[in-house]
Chains A and B, each alone.
Chain A
Amino acid sequence: MHPPDGTVPEEGMALTFSDKAEAEIKALLPRYPAGEAALIPVLTLAAQEYGALTDDVIDLVSTRLGIPPTRVLATATFYTMLPKKPVGKHHVQVCTNIACSLLGAEHVVEKLERKLGIRRGETTADGLFTLSEVECLGSCGSAPVMMVNETFHENLDEDAIDRVLEECRRG
């Protein structure tokens, strides 16, 4: 597939955005007086398309927005939600900040480590789960809490943890 402006890709420049992502980028740009302001949303899209912001994805974003790759990389590496390496199909993120830790968040992480057979920060060999320990998710009144991809799971007890993992495994 060719880049959206119709030019022929250069040697080695294999990546392009999908039509869907390109449509989203086109909708994003008019919201800002400066194209660079679309950088974080576009990096987020790029991470969704390619799974991680590898060097060639950084180049793609740089070319598309006309921002030097060093500046794209500076932003990409600053934010924890912009992944530098691929995460599993289900990204399990457990809050272990103060309110959650008072109600047993450490136990939640340890249980997940045992059940998934990985340590925090790792991905299962089948690529199904990544387990991360994260900072406050803003759900302290329903602690302990974890997020799986875009969904919050609150008031976690033993059964809830088991149930969530099973639901993920079922698909």
Chain B
Amino acid sequence: MTEELIIAGFGGQGVLLTGRLLCVAAMRLGKQVSHIPSYGAEMRGGTANCSVVISDEDIASPVIERPSIVIALNGPSVAKFEPRLRPGGLLIWNSSLVKQAPTRSDLVLVSLDAADRSLSEGTERAANMAAIGALLKLKPDIVPMEAVEAALDEVISARNRKHNPVNLRILHAGYEITKTINAA
């Protein structure tokens, strides 16, 4: 198993944290992981993103040219990364914010009202958790839900750990919503 993910969104949507959460969960299960942010001036416009590789083998490059999975939390991220997904890849997009829906027919496209899910729990900042929930449902071989739950306390700073019960609820909501989509 090797998955190459790009997680993208506005600054403040927890893009880097999303990547770290997946990495720590996988690392604790003995998988190889790498995480690299887009850095510098690029952070201050359009999208912030990080590239995450999770694999059973040694990881060559942390830099991803053709991702197998993209989580796009805003419109510019869909525009930027939909064309780069490899055929058959998975695109989870935040339908609460994205106006232009993705169109490629050779991808698995999953729309998720991630920001609305987050807002319904009283926070604007946890859309990323809903997206991770959806990902875990759709790609169970990356890491199981329990591993991500266990990693939350390690990855979230002490200052923000009090929000973890909410994070957990949104994580599970993302997982359930996706189930409904798949059934449909």
Mutual binders A and B: no
Q: Which residues of B contact A (CB under 8 A)?
A: none
* A binding-site residues for B, Cβ under 8 Å: none
